[in-house]
Amino acid sequence: MELDINVSYSVEVSEDKCPMIKEFFENIDSSHEGKIPKWRIAINKLIKRTGSLVQLSHPLDYGDMMNPECKINLYHLLSSLKHLNVTGDLVDIGCFDGKNSAFMGLLMVELGIDAHFYLYDHFGKGYGRNVSKQTVMDSFKKFNLRQPTLYENDFRVSIPKDLPDTISFAHIDCGHGGDKNEHADIIVFLLEHIYPRLEKNAVVIMMDYTQGVRKSVWNVNPGVKIGCDRFFANKPEKITELYGGFFAQGFFRKQ
C-alpha cells in the first residue's frame, strides 16, 4: 500500500487536530536557524567560496540527542502505523533522559495511537550528565502524558524478559561511541528479540544507521550498520537510510 505522507500531514496537522505537532512544525525553521550565530554563518560562507565541503557546525548538545530532521521522520513513520492499522505496543530501547521518548509519547497522543509505551535504559554514565528514572518520568509529566513503563536495567537483563508480546514500533538508540564490534553484537541481540514480536507493517527506527555515503553525517556508531548487515543478511527486509541532517538514522518495516 502506498502512503501519501503529504495527505496525512495536511489532514492531521493542518486541520488543527494535532496542535502540539503543528506548533513543532511551524517553529522548526526558526528554532533550528536561531541556534546558528551570525559569525558562524559568515565563516561558513567564506569556506564555501573556497570550494571546500567543510562547515562549522553547532557543537553537539547532549541535552538533545535528536534534531528536527529526525523528529520529522518519527512523525511520518508513527503516522504510517495509524494509516496501516498496525497494532501492538511501542518500545524505546535506550531512552536516556526521556526527552525524545516524551516527544514520541506526544505524537502517540496526537495521532491517536492507543498503545502502551515501554522504555529501556541502564542509565550508565558517559553522556555528559547523569539521568535517572525520575528524569524520564519528569519529561513525560511536562506534557501531561500517561507514564510509560520504564525498565532500568542492562538490555541483557531486560531483553527479552520485559518486552511486550506484540510490537508496532521500536526505536533503537543504544550507542555508546565505544567498540564498534561490541556495539554490533548488541544491535544483533536486540533485533533477534524484537523482530519476532513485530506485527506486519511495524516500524523499527535504527538511530545512528548510515551507509556512510553522505559526507555530512556523523557516523558516531558504525556498529549499527555492521550489526544490521549481519542481521538482515537472511531477512526479506532491508534498512532504508533516512535523511537526519547531521544525525544518522534508518528504518525498516516488517513484512
Ligand X SMILES: C[S@@+](CC[C@H](N)C(=O)[O-])C[C@H]1O[C@@H](n2cnc3c(N)ncnc32)[C@H](O)[C@@H]1O
The footprint of ligand X (CB under 6 A) covers 65-66, 94-96, 99-100, 121-124, 127, 154-155, 173-176, 186
* CB 180, min distance to ligand X, A: 14
Half-sphere exposure (Cβ direction) of 165: Cα atoms closer than 13 Å: 0
* CB 95, min distance to ligand X, A: 6
Hey, what's the cell of 39? 559569525
Task: Mark 91-118 as b/e (b = at least 16 C-beta within 10 Å).
Answer: bbbbbbbbbbbbbbbbbbbbbebebebb
* CB 203, min distance to ligand X, A: 16
Using CB atoms, what's the residue nearest to ligand X?
94
Length of the chain: 255
When computed from its CA atoms, the radius of gyration of the chain, rounded to whole angstroms, is 18
* Closer to ligand X by Cβ: residue 4 or 64: 64
Closest CA to 57 of 247, 212, 246: 246
* CB 102, min distance to ligand X, A: 10
* CB 63, min distance to ligand X, A: 9
Q: Is the dihedral of CA 39, 45, 51, 52 positive or negative?
A: positive
* Closer to ligand X by Cβ: residue 47 or 123: 123
* Closer to ligand X by Cβ: residue 201 or 251: 251
Q: What residue ranges in 81-197 does DSSP mark as E strands?
A: 89-93, 117-121, 149-152, 167-172
* Closer to ligand X by Cβ: residue 24 or 201: 24
CB atoms within 10 A of CB 143: 12
* Closer to ligand X by Cβ: residue 88 or 94: 94
* CB 11, min distance to ligand X, A: 27
Residues 150, 133 contacting (CB under 8 angstroms): yes
* Closer to ligand X by Cβ: residue 94 or 223: 94
Distance spanning both ends of the chain, measured CA to CA: 12
